[in-house]
Amino acid sequence: MIKLRYSKRLFKRSPSSKQQAATCGGGGNGSAAGGGGAEQIEWEVRPGGMLVQKRDGKGGEEVIVVRVSTGFSWHDVSIGATSTFGELKVMLSMVTGLEPREQRLLFRGKEREDTDHLHMVGVRDKDKVLLLEDPALKDMKLRALAAQVVPSPCQPFIQV
């Protein structure tokens, strides 16, 4: 971690931000809104080698609402923005009753893998994701159900 010093004189605030700081109670002598004092910005180097300003960590994980369409109904699901489509499938299994392996999620016309992250693909708050049941597994379910209940086409009228 690298700490750099900078002066407030280099970064001028607009008049509206000074007024807002004064109305919010931040316009005292020793505050960040007044004076030309120096503050420290903490920097960090990311794994890719990029130097960025360190996050304060107060915000936590951003939660977004994803609107999921199953063809005939809508479900609004709250999930973390950095979650994966696999985690979204687990959340949807509680709502729809479909197992995660039976679900196919489409976003922007493409089926997404379970390991794809929502924010990396571009899913934002109130975006729509289409949920389809896997046709192969649906066909297997129907065949298994038909094999269990096989009515006889002919019923005997006379019993001997």
Structure confidence by residue, pLDDT tens digits, 46-82: 778 888 887 766 556 788 999 999 888 898 999 998 8
96 confidence band (pLDDT: 50, 70, 90): confident
Task: Look at the chain and count its residues.
Answer: 160
pTM (2 decimals)? 0.54
Question: Looking at residues 104-109, what average pLDDT do you find?
Answer: 91
pLDDT for position 27: 44
Q: Tell me yes or no: is domain 60-135 CATH 3.10.20.90.
A: yes
Query: How many CB atoms within 10 Å of residue 98?
Result: 19
Domain positions in the chain: 60-135
> Which tokens go with 96?
């729809």
User: What value does the mean pLDDT take over residues 116-145?
Assistant: 86
CB 88 within 8 A of CB 64: no
Q: pLDDT by residue (tens digit) across 12-42?
A: 555 554 444 444 444 444 444 445 556 788 8
pLDDT band at 5 (very low <50, low <70, confident <90, very high): low
> What is the model's pLDDT at position 23?
43
Instruction: Spell 13-52 as b/e; 16+ CB within 10 A means b.
Output: eeeeeeeebeeeeeeeeeeebeeeeeeeeeeeeeeeeeee
